Amino acid sequence: MAERPSWIEIDLQALAHNHRQLQQLAGPERRVIASIKANAYGHGVLEIARTLEACGAFALWTGHVPEALALRAAGIRAPIILFGGYLPQDLPDLLRHDLVPTIYDHRGLAEAAACEQSAAPVVVKVDSGLGRLGVKLAEAGPLIRSIARTDGVRLAGIYTHLPFRDRSGMAWAAASAAKFEDLLAELRREGIAPEITQLWGSSGLIAGLADGTNAVCIGHLLYGLLPLEAALARPLDLLPVCAGIKSRLIHIGRHAPGADLAIAGRYRSSGASIVGVLPLGLGDGMPALPAGTALAALVRGARAPVIGVSLEHMILDLTAVPAPAIGDEVALVGRSGEAGITLAECAGTLARTPLELLMGFSGRLAVRTACSVEARSPPFGVRAAETVGP
């Protein structure tokens, strides 16, 4: 009762399928660490983490401490690694909660070493050129050697992050990756070879870039999202984990033909004679309609144009819907009868990427599980193979 009748549907079978595909692509000698940051890319971190744990994911990786703590409280036992997202003085507390923190400077090392554990596991992040979080490549060797010599901590991993979208980004990532691998080789010669070394996320893995590390950390692809130009992706059969963005009609207004409808004065005489109202507005993370946008939702298998979005409501033109009724399910994304709207289609109409659209709803809409393997989208690589050739 307390729940607003608007929700995101996630397909956990699709998640398990994607995990299997990615493990196969990574190869038996490489571990797949699942990135569940940002509420599992908006899919609802708890159900996603439970499924990944059941799939045998080697570890879960997030930069959101409250979400990581919630997973521990919910009984998730899989190793959880933290990308960051905390102050140095919080490190002992994170270790106490069985989380493996990333450190990237001497201050972090000192704080981690001061915790009461005898060999607290930590991972080190190297900034190989992205210019975001991490110890700079040139300073990484000395920091990592200090960690290896420090009694209170155990060096569990070394990683970097080089995401890219297009061909020039790929060339940059490949060149930067080579420098990171040189560092790993140099450390290995000194006997520093931690359990986890990781370089590629989704873009490097699906583009098939060379990799001498023993793990990949995958987010986008796990959820069926493609973070780079399709032409750079190798063929891979992945399914969308977000199977729907849905709501229910809470009101139907029947207006006589010619009625002077003027919703907020903006949609004057839309011509609609039947309008429907959904509890799905800006406050739920629904984007405002860009000017001139023709967005539609599905009701009883028919397309209902979206007339407007306000703080708490969305208004639909139900004229083309056969016998609409209060309580009818409405799909902004997902299946309705014979019809369907994909996440990519809806996001594209709203001038957003699928992930940006999901992030708007994240933590605001309820998450429900659905198991509809019927909604199979074609493999990513089909178009890539056609344009790139053999």
Say how many Å lie between the first and final Cα of the chain, rounded: 55
Choose which of 79, 92, 163, 379 interacts with ligand PLP (CB under 6 A).
Answer: 163
Q: How many CA atoms lie within 13 A of 389 on its CB side?
A: 0
DSSP per residue over 80-93, as a string? EEE---S-GGGHHH
Return the number of the residue (17 or 248) whose C-beta is nearest ligand PLP.
17
Q: How remote is the C-alpha of 343 from its chain's centroid?
A: 13
If binding is defined by CB under 6 A, does position 31 make contact with ligand PLP? no
Strand partners, 197: 158
Least distance to ligand PLP, CB of residue 301, Å: 34
Choose which of 154, 161, 248, 300 interacts with ligand PLP (CB under 6 A).
Answer: 161
If binding is defined by CB under 6 A, does position 83 make contact with ligand PLP? yes
Least distance to ligand PLP, CB of residue 83, Å: 5
Cβ neighbours of residue 168 under 8 Å, at least 6 residues apart?
Answer: none
Stretch that binds ligand PLP, among 15-23, 110-118, 195-203, 371-379 (CB under 6 A): 195-203
Residues in the chain: 390
Least distance to ligand PLP, CB of residue 323, Å: 43
Least distance to ligand PLP, CB of residue 122, Å: 15
Which of helix, strand or coil describes residue 265? helix
Q: How remote is the C-alpha of 140 from its chain's centroid?
A: 29
Return the number of the residue (43 or 161) whose C-beta is nearest ligand PLP.
161
Spatial distance between the Cα atoms of 300 and 13, rounded to a whole number of angstroms: 25
Hey, what are 60's tokens?
């879960």
Least distance to ligand PLP, CB of residue 233, Å: 12
Whose CA is closest to 333, among 228, 241, 251?
241
If binding is defined by CB under 6 A, does position 64 make contact with ligand PLP? no
Number of residues that bind ligand PLP (CB under 6 A): 13
Spatial distance between the Cα atoms of 64 and 45, rounded to a whole number of angstroms: 10
CA angle 166, 286, 351 (to 5 degrees): 30
Choose which of 152, 169, 227, 308 interacts with ligand PLP (CB under 6 A).
Answer: 227
Locate tokens 């080789």: which residue? 185
Cβ neighbours of residue 108 under 8 Å, at least 6 residues apart?
Answer: 88, 91, 101
Return the number of the residue (121 or 201) whose C-beta is nearest ligand PLP.
201
Torsion angle (degrees, nearest 10) of CA 88, 93, 97, 103: 20
Return the number of the residue (250 or 344) whose C-beta is nearest ligand PLP.
344
Least distance to ligand PLP, CB of residue 355, Å: 9
Q: How remote is the C-alpha of 371 from its chain's centroid?
A: 19
Site for ligand PLP in 173-192 (CB under 6 A): none
CA angle 46, 78, 49 (to 5 degrees): 20
Return the number of the residue (197 or 202) whose C-beta is nearest ligand PLP.
202
If binding is defined by CB under 6 A, does position 35 make contact with ligand PLP? yes
Choose which of 25, 217, 280, 357 interacts with ligand PLP (CB under 6 A).
Answer: 217
If binding is defined by CB under 6 A, does position 220 make contact with ligand PLP? yes
Whose CA is closest to 129, among 166, 163, 84?
163
Return the number of the residue (82 or 346) whose C-beta is nearest ligand PLP.
82
Least distance to ligand PLP, CB of residue 137, Å: 15
Choose which of 6, 18, 176, 202 interacts with ligand PLP (CB under 6 A).
Answer: 202
DSSP class of residue 224 equals: T
If binding is defined by CB under 6 A, does position 218 make contact with ligand PLP? yes
Using CB positions, name the residue nearest to ligand PLP: 219
Least distance to ligand PLP, CB of residue 380, Å: 14
If binding is defined by CB under 6 A, does position 7 make contact with ligand PLP? no
Return the number of the residue (221 or 307) whose C-beta is nearest ligand PLP.
221
Hey, what are 341's tokens?
């709207």
Least distance to ligand PLP, CB of residue 131, Å: 13
User: What are the residues binding ligand PLP (CB under 6 A)?
Assistant: 35, 37, 83, 161, 163, 201-203, 217-220, 227
